[in-house]
Structures are given as structure tokens and as C-alpha cells.
Structure 1
Amino acid sequence: MSDSTPRSGLAPPSPREDVRDLLGMRAPRSLPVVGAYLLSMIVVAVSQIHVVTDPVLLFGGLLVFIAAALGVVLIDGDPLPHGTTLLLTAAGPLGCALVLAGTPAIPSASLLFTWIHGAGTVVYCFLNVRGRLIAPWVGLAAMVVVAAVWAHLRNLSPMTAGLLVGVDAAPIIMSLLFALTLRPAARRVFALRRRTLDHVASASAEVAATEERGRQAHRLNALARPMLQRIAVGGDLTDDERRSCAMLEAHLRDQIRAPLLAQLGLDVSAYHARTRGVDVLLIDDTRTGRDRSDSEDLSPPVLSVLQQTATDALDHALDGDVVVRVSAPDRPIAASVLVRSSAGTTRSEIASDGDVTDHR
């Protein structure tokens, strides 16, 4: 079926937004209602078992209606998927055909005749609510045809049988009007909820950014203020003070240029390595084309291996230089640690699955 929901200029709901949420159809309290409806169908079917000529056909039709009732309530999708809609549309005439095939043309069969097309109509009413507005009319027309054919084969009036089923157009029309009112309202509610969530997320991000800026300012103040005060006093700096300025500048540069590595604590290890005369370079290529680094580009195992490998290299380096690099996303090598010293050169490559390969 290619039915469509009414349009109101708003985007369709996401897979998690379903009109059933507004009706409470997915809430636990709906289960007793569904259970009572299914039980009523079973009671009517059992009460009519003495009327039919083949109980197997009766209970076959009953199972079709039960499955359709459960499907229209439980299956996800708003509107319902096309395949599901096709099956639910076919459930009405199929269930009616099964039950009527074993129903004789006697007055005592009137309750049975009324119940079966009523069960199909209930499914069609909910099809309207679930966003399929053409399928119910196709299903109702098919049930009218089934009833007329049954009446003709039983030497009854096909028109009378068709009209008895055709009166179910009234509840289908009411459910259609309800759906035309409910579904646009539901889309507006979901759109407002999305905007509210977006606003809350944006506000939370702003608060987090403000707090982060405050922490960074406090840390910068603690690190740089003493040296800035010394420079402000005037006078020539000693060699040790110049070295301290250079290491402080490199330390702050690490936090700006490679925040992901700083989050792993490598900026501290790099600072201590520089005090021993080691040249250290931290590079974070995941920042390419971004405003910030995102640790989600690397899996937790890779982050753990990178942290351990780089920390060991920095803590044991006594001379030479150490380069720790995080590769750009979608590269086969997630990160690398290069150590060049008087003892030789070692390059450790960390794959995207966390495996480490050493090249000497």
C-alpha cells in the first residue's frame, strides 16, 4: 500500500517517535485492554463452535484476527511499514473467508457472521491511526466481497450480506477523522519535544564549555602566572628560567595542539621528559578540519595501548627525541610512537584493533 499520512509542514517523526506513545499503546497499562479484546474474540468463537461445520476453519480465522490485532498494536513504525500494512489489510478478508467457509446458512450463525467482520474492522480502524489511510477501505471492500460470495454460495442475498459488512464504514470513517486530527498534532508534539531536547543539549554544551574554559584558565593561571610575574619584574632571565619558559611553552602547546593526548596524561610525561633534555612532539591528526579532538575516533583498547606505549617511551627516554602521533580517522594505523636516541630508533605502530608492531 502506498498510503501516506497527512502533511502539516513538519518533519516526520523519527523511528523512536510513534503516535502510539500519545495513545498509551506502548505503555504497560494497555496490555489489559488488548488482553480483554483478544479474550472476547476467543469467547465468541468458542461459543459458536457448535454452529460451524469445521472448527479448524473457525480457529484458523480466529488466529488470523488475533495475529492482526497484535500486529497493529505491537509492530514498530510510524506510519506502519508497507509490508506489514499489506498483511494487516489481507487479514480481514482472509479471516472472514476461513470462518465463513465453515459457516452454514442458518439463523444461529448471525452472531458469528457479525463478529468476524467486526474483528477485521477493529484492525482497520487502528490502521488509520497508524498512518495508513487507504488500506482500511481496501480491506473493507474485500470483506464485503467475501461476505457477498459466501451468501451467494449459501443461496442467501449477496446484497444483504454485503450491506451488513458495509455498515462498518461508519467506525472506519470515525477513526479516519480521529487520525486526521491526531497525527498532525502528534507531529507537532514530537517536533516541540525535539526542539526542547536540542535546546537542553545546546545549553548543557554551553555550560560544559564554560566550565572547561574556567578550568583551563585556572590551570593556565597556575602554570604561567609565576613566570609572567618574573618577566614583568624586568631584568635578564637566567638560563634555567629560559629553559623553564621553553618547557612551559611546549607544555601549553601540547594541550592546545594535542588535547586527546593531553587527556591521556601524556602532556605530563612529555614535560618530565623535556626536563631530561628530550625533544618531545605530540601530534593529534584527528583535529584535522575540526574545532576539537574527539576521543570517540579511537576505541578504548587503542587508547589504552597508546597511553601505555607512549608513557613507557617518554618515561624511559634520556636523550634524543620522541614523537607521539595520532593518525587521522579511517587510517589503518591508528597511532604511532617514534623514539630516536643514542640507543637507536624504534617506531611502534598501533593498529585500529589495538595490536602493536615495533619497527627497529
Structure 2
Amino acid sequence: MTRPTEWWWHQPPRNDASAIMGMQTGFAAALSLGVWLVCLVLGFAAGGVTSPLLYLGAMLLLLATVGVLLSAPRDPVVLWATAVIVIVPPLAIVVAVPGLTHRPGMAYVTLTGISAIVVAFLAVRGRAVAAWVGYGLGLVVALLADQVAGPQSALLTMQAPNLAAVLMATIFAAIVRPRARQFYGLREQTEREAAARSAEEATLAVRDQQLSRLDDGARPLLDRIATDDGLTASEVQRCRLVEAQLRDRIRAPGFDLPAVANAVWRARARGASVLLFDDFDIAAGMPDPSALGEVVDRLVSVLRDAVSGDEVTARLLPRGRTRFATVSVARQGRVVRFEFDARGQESTVGNRP
């Protein structure tokens, strides 16, 4: 059973021959409606319609079939839509015949013409065999109408052009559909290669940035150590801060942001203990930026207020948990814990000795 979210107004464009022909656009829907209205007016204006309600009902059935043809999902089109497109056009002719004279002029032309167009485009959407079944049903209906409802030469005459339309659509689909698959396959391959190149360039840029930051932070200290003159207390403290910052980048890449790094550095310099953990499975997708932003804002706020002896712990939790992240601060025997859900909504769940 096709879910409503699979209809064309919810789904991405189908990469098939119908996309090349523009069948997935609003213009195609508007054009189809315009052609249907013209056919309706011609059928009534040309005379021969003895029951307007029956003729209008038949035309409305055909209009609904066109809507199914344009909007039904997947390639080839789903089976239930295929059944509708095959069955409804002959049914529309059955509905209309009692309300038409034997020679109704344009009325049969419009009915059989729209029916032929629908089954022809069904072949374009990947159901060529079903299209021929639909044409066959239309021919059977015409023959039965000729036998049961009296001579229907006009109805039978319209089947020859319909045969040509379905035949041309079948040949077109046989030629274009494989080319469409090749075209869209090449395009998807190009997009994947471009995405891979972008990811590689981004990785290299991050690596260069990390090396630059490492060089800026660690090289002066390494040069100082290489002199073998001994380190002052402040230099030892700076070494510890640099080492802790490098560990954070490895252990908690999700928190590797300038605002967090600066706040953590200052908090540790004041004597606070800060631990950062990132257990979020980034390989399966990035976290929600707004949720991560809420966590970062709270963490920076906590670090800004941290003093000597405080213990601050922040963690991005594994994917699939009911909580997204936690930030806790322990001060003088009391613990305050902030929890965040996947949308970044914050709750305070601990304030205890």
C-alpha cells in the first residue's frame, strides 16, 4: 500500500523518462487540465450528446485518471495506479455511450483521444504491457458497444489512430527509458564524485587547521623544552593546558568549537576540572545544529562561572538515546545536571548534595 507521503508533492523528482518529458511539473498538470477543458467544450459544442450528465461523468473519470498518471509514485508506476489507468478509460466510454447518438461528432473523438493519450503515457511511465492491455480493453468496449447499442462506426473508427498513438509511445519508451536511466545514473555518479571530493577537501582543510592550531599551541613549548633550560611554573601549567586541549579534540570532536575551546581553557586556567566526551555516532549523520547550539551555549555559560575546585563534565550521548547531551557541574559537594533532548530542549534534573 502506497503511503500518502509517496505522492508527487511529497517525494523527490523521479529520475526517469517522465522527468525528461516534464510530466512531473506543475506546467504538465496545468496543460493537462487545459486540454481536458478544450475537449469537454468541443464534445458538447459539436452536438450528439443526449445525456450531458453521462458525458460529463465520463470526462471526469478520464480527468481523474490523468491525475493518477501524473502523480502516482515510483518507476515503473505502482501497480494500483496502473490498474486504475488501464480500467477507467474503457469504463468511461461505457458510461458515456448511452448518452451519445450513434454519430456524435467530436464526443467520441474526445473520449477515445484522451483514453489513448492516457494509456500511451502509461507506457512512458514503464508499463508498456499494461498500456497495450488498456488499448485492448478500449477496443473490446468499442466492439461490444457496436453490437449491443447499435452501429457505432464513429467509435470503431477512432481505434485506428489510437493504435498508432500507443505504438509510437511504446517505441518512444523503449528508446528513451534506457537512455534516461543512463543519463540520471551518470548524473548521480557525478554528484557522488563531487560530494566525495568536497568531503576530501573538507577533511584536508580540517587537518590543515588542526596542524596549524597544534603548531601555534605546542611548537613554542616544544622549542622551550628543547633548550633544556628548565620550565617555569607558568610554562608547566601552559603545557598541561595545551595537552588537555589536544586530548579534547581527539576525545570530543563534537565540542571542538572556538567558543568551547576558549571557555574550557580559561576554566582550567582558573583551576577547574573539565572533561569533554563525544559518543555521538557522527558517521551516521550530523547532529541537529540547533540542538548542539543549545548544548554549547549552556556549556560555555557553565564554564564561564566555573571556579577552582569545580568539576565540569559535558557529553554528547550515543545515537538512539532519549537524551542528546548532558552538562553537569559539581561544586562543594553539590551537583547540578542539565539534560538536552534531540531538539535541544533543556531540563535540570539534579541539584543534590
TM-score range for the pair, normalised by the shorter chain length:
0.7 to 0.9
Question: Structure 2 counterpart of 1:357, which letter?
Answer: V
CA–CA distance in 2 between the matches of 1:319 and 1:36? 76
TM-superposed deviation, 1:267: 2.3
Letter in 1 for 2:210: Q
Is the Cα contact below 8 Å between 1:276 and 1:319 reproduced in 2? Answer: yes
Q: Distance in 1 between matches of 2:303 and 2:83?
A: 65
Contact 1:24 1:30 in 2 (8 A): yes
Identify the residue that residue 38 of structure 1 maps to in structure 2: 36
Match runs of 1:146-295 below 5 Å: 146-156=141-151, 165=159, 168-263=162-257, 265-286=259-280
Where in structure 1 are there 5+ consecutive unaligned residues? 1-13
1:358 aligns with 2:350: yes
| Greater CA drift, 212-221 or 175-184 | 212-221
CA 1:155/1:269 → structure 2, altered by over 3 Å: closer, same or farther?
Answer: closer
Offset of 1:61 from its aligned partner? 1.3
Instruction: Tell me, in whole angstroms, the C-alpha distance in 1 between the residues paired with 2:138 and 2:14.
Output: 33
Q: Is contact 1:259-1:284 (8 Å) kept?
A: yes
Take 1:102 and 1:16, find their aligned partners in 2: how far apart are those partners?
A: 40
Question: Residues 16 and 166 from structure 1, CA distance in 2 versus in 1: closer, same or farther, beyond 3 angstroms?
Answer: closer
> Deviations for 1:245-266, whole angstroms, at most 9, x for unmatched residues?
1111001211221121222722
Within 5 A, what are the aligned runs for 1:321-336? 321-336=311-326
Q: Return closer, same or farther for 1:196/1:231 CA change in 2, 3 Å cut-off.
A: same
Query: Structure 2: how far apart are the matches of 1:113 and 1:298?
Result: 58
State the alpha-carbon separation in 2 of the partners of residues 311 and 36 from structure 1: 61
Q: TM-score, normalised by structure 1?
A: 0.83
Contact kept in structure 2, 1:336 and 1:347, CA below 8 Å: no
Contact 2:49 2:100 in 1 (8 A): yes
Q: Secondary structure at the match of 1:323?
A: strand
**Other-structure match for 2:117:** 122
Distance, in Å, in 1 between the alignment partners of 2:168 and 2:328 is 74
**Percent of pairs with identical residues:** 28
Return 5+ residue gaps in structure 2 as ranges: 1-11
- Cα shift readout 1:301-356 (whole Å, capped 9, x = no counterpart): x4344223322332222222222222212223332233333x22314131414323
Shift of 1:28: 6.2
Matched, 1:319 2:313: no
Give the secondary-structure state (helix, strand or coil) at the position aligned to 1:109: coil
Separation (CA, whole Å) in 2 of partners of 1:224 and 1:174? 73
Which residue of structure 2 lines up, in the alignment, with residue 338 of structure 1?
Answer: 328
Change (3 A) 1:270 1:155: closer
Amino acid at match of 1:22: I
Q: How many residues align?
A: 337
